[in-house]
Amino acid sequence: MNRETLIRGIESALPLLNTPGGTESLSVLLYYAADEPDKSDARLVTLLSLLSAEPELELFNGYMRVVANSASRVEYSTLGGWLLRRAQAVGSQQAISDLERYLASDQLPCTYIFAIDGIKLSDSCSLGSDIELVPWDSMPHLRGKHPVLERFIRGSPFRTPTAVLLHPVIVPRLHVREVDSKKQVHGDEFMGTLLNSYTCYPPDSKL
């Protein structure tokens, strides 16, 4: 991978994130840079061209990225957006180093997050089998916390979680053209482990 060329491409496009609404509109701008390059910002078009020229990054060319029990399609524009946001946070060189680390890894650490309402905790506690029950308010502000809250509220309007189950696992790094849910999506293990570990408590109980 041509590290220095990619770093220059990132640093050239990075000022776009500092314009009004730049961060919020980045995904849309990258989509049009891939779909209508003649009408898009040349810096984003160049960055996508640099990414697509790297054979090691072919797995971002429309492949499905499978992580535990979910799969999503990733494009060069997806990678470009991640690199720019990551570079804004830690610098272009570190962003490329993080990408290299991802490419070199066969396995990825991830955490299942299961939001709960009705259980009030004074402190975290272990349920065994690497499952931890944690007060919602003390849960680390992980990248997944806000989406979990949004999904919870859609299912239970006017309520918020009071606790959360956390279960760290190691999953294979997997990019495929087509997803075979029976072979490649692994979500039932968490529920199986949970059912072997849980204790029932009445609603609004205090631990």
Q: What is the largest CA-CA distance in the chain?
A: 61
Over residues 42-52, the mean pLDDT reads 97
Q: What is the pTM of this model?
A: 0.76
Please give the C-alpha separations between residue 78 and each of 8, 31, 121, 170, in angstroms, as whole numbers. 18, 9, 39, 23
Q: Of the segments 71-75, 92-96, 143-147, which one has the largest average pLDDT value? A: 92-96
**CA dihedral (29, 33, 39, 43) positive or negative:** positive
| Cα separation, 49 vs 73, whole angstroms | 19
Q: Note whether 77 and 48 are within 8 A (CB).
A: yes
pLDDT surpassing 90 at residue 79: yes
Q: For a pLDDT cut of 70, what percent of the chain falls above it?
A: 82
Residue 36 phi, psi dihedral angles, 5° rounding: -135, 70
Which sequence spans correspond to the domains of the chain?
A: 3-104, 108-201
70-74: strand order across its sheet: 70-74, 63-67, 174-176
The predicted structure's pLDDT at residue 142:
61
The predicted structure's pLDDT at residue 201:
43
The predicted structure's pLDDT at residue 60:
96
Mean pLDDT taken over the chain: 84
pLDDT surpassing 80 at residue 11: yes
Over residues 100-109, the mean pLDDT reads 94
In tens, the pLDDT along 154-205 reads 776 767 888 888 888 888 999 998 866 455 555 555 555 554 444 444 444 4
The predicted structure's pLDDT at residue 23:
84
The predicted structure's pLDDT at residue 105:
94
**CA dihedral (151, 156, 162, 167) positive or negative:** negative
| Cα separation, 182 vs 124, whole angstroms | 34
